[in-house]
């Protein structure tokens, strides 16, 4: 049960990692239909970013660091709690990194297609 408490937030973070995927683009002189098609294609490229892998790697790294800190300062219960907290924190960092990478892929793709991406 304790594991589920730590794993559930990571699953939520993974699901949310790609939600903010629409950059701000200067639309002056832009064909909106073509832009929407290009944006959809760029978002498809961004879907190739392996968010789950980045969340998992962050969670593992965080759990290792948390367990090490817990071992230094406490008993086995402290190790478990610190590892769990480290896993959640590391998973959150992995999700944030994946989301940033997805936004960067979309921005680069749109710039490559001639759009002025403002953010």
Domain contains 25: no
Cα 96 from Cα 62, distance rounded (Å): 14
Tokens of 57: 């790697």
Domain contains 63: yes
Predicted TM-score of the model (pTM): 0.65
pLDDT digits (tens, 9 = 90+) for 59-103: 777 777 777 767 777 676 766 777 777 778 877 887 888 888 899
How many structural domains compose the chain? 1
pLDDT digits (tens, 9 = 90+) for 32-66: 999 999 999 999 999 888 766 766 777 777 777 77
How large is the C-alpha radius of gyration of the chain?
Answer: 19
Amino acid 4: pLDDT: 45
**End-to-end distance of the chain based on CA atoms, in angstroms?**
42
Domain contains 78: yes
């Amino acid at each position: 049960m304790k594991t589920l408490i730590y794993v559930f937030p990571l699953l939520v973070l993974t699901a949310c990692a790609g939600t903010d995927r629409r950059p701000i683009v200067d639309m002056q002189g832009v064909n909106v239909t073509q832009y929407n098609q290009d944006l959809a294609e760029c978002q498809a490229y961004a879907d190739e970013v392996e968010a789950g892998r980045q969340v998992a790697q962050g969670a593992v790294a965080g759990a290792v660091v948390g367990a090490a800190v817990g071992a230094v300062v406490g008993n086995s219960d402290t190790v478990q709690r610190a590892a769990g907290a480290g896993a959640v924190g590391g998973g959150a960092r992995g999700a944030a990194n994946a989301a940033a990478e997805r936004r960067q892929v979309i921005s680069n793709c749109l710039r490559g297609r001639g759009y002025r991406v403002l953010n």
